[in-house]
Structure 1
Amino acid sequence: MTQTILEPHILVSMTYVSRANPDMSDKELSEILRQAQQNNAANGITGMLVFNRHYFLQTVEGSRAQISQLLHSLLADERHHDLQLLETRELKYREWSKWSMNFVSPTTENAALYLKYSTTVDFNPYFLSAESIRGLMTELNH
């Protein structure tokens, strides 16, 4: 008789940045958001996505196993490239529990937030520290 051993689920957060393919259409972005919301809800993943036509910045949280699987699928997704993992960390509780995938787009109205966390008003998450990204995403959510 084979017995399945249930391992405790460790709650983790993963933040990454990637470059959007230059020919990404609004329809493709809508499809990415729809897929993320549907898949994340089914897999117990919550998070936030920031996109500005050039860069994806995303933080996701869930079980370590689910986040690992998600990372593998993100690396294989041809709609973006140059994916860089910026931070992974264990969590005591979810920070994005209300959202299967919250979405925010940088605008001229929130450019002051980029200046607060960066050296420029231009949104380029490759130049931000993990701590700056957490602060920026928290403020963009309000």
Structure 2
Amino acid sequence: MSQNNIDAHILISMTYASRANSDVSAEDFNEILKQAQENNAANGITGMLTFNKDYFLQTIEGPRAQINRLLYGLIADQRHYDLQLLETREIKHREWAKWSMNYASPTEQNAAVYLKYSTTVNFNPYLLNAESANNLMRELSSI
């Protein structure tokens, strides 16, 4: 059995935060989201993304080899910088199985959820621990 076949049975969940480059527009973000949904569906990756004008917070899950390849691509992506892993772990079951990439952004309807998990008035995922980041995304996805 090849290494890739073995890795396909090991599911990984990875959560990271990064800073958006100041020139990333709403149009750019829509393209990022569309690309992520298409690429993730093709590669067996599921996840949740939240974005405001300054930060990305994302959890992705899938086969270990695919997540590692995606991580290299994320690090090289010039649309964001200062990528920091908040958590990487093996999982038995996917949490985001319904979505190649679910998405939430701050709105009036979910402002209280962002505030609940933020240590400041302005959302900053670098100040979240892994549990808080995952709970934030779970709550956002249920609104």
Question: How high is the TM-score relative to the length of structure 1?
Answer: 0.93
Q: What's 1:34 paired with?
A: 34
Instruction: Look up the equivalent residue of 2:45 and give its one-letter code.
Output: I
- Runs of 4 or more, structure 1, over 3 Å off, are 3-6
8 Å contact from structure 1 (residues 111, 121) kept in 2: no
Structure 1 residues not aligned, in runs of 5+:
none
* Per-residue deviation, residues 70-121 of structure 1 (Å, max 9, x unmatched): 0000000001001001100111100000000011001233222123223233
- Percent identity over the alignment? 67
Q: Size of the alignment, in residue pairs?
A: 140
Aligned pairs (5 A) from 1:97-136:
97-136=97-136
Give 3-state SS (helix, strand or coil) of 1:121's partner.
coil
Give the whole-Å Cα distance in 1 for the aligned partners of 2:44 and 2:80.
24
Cα distance in 1 for residues equivalent to 2:97 and 2:53: 26
Rounded to whole Å, the distance in 2 between the matches of 1:118 and 1:21 is: 21
Root-mean-square deviation (CA, aligned residues, Å) is 1.4
- Residues 112 and 121 of structure 1 are in contact (CA less than 8 Å); yes or no, is this contact kept in structure 2? no
Greater C-alpha radius of gyration: 1
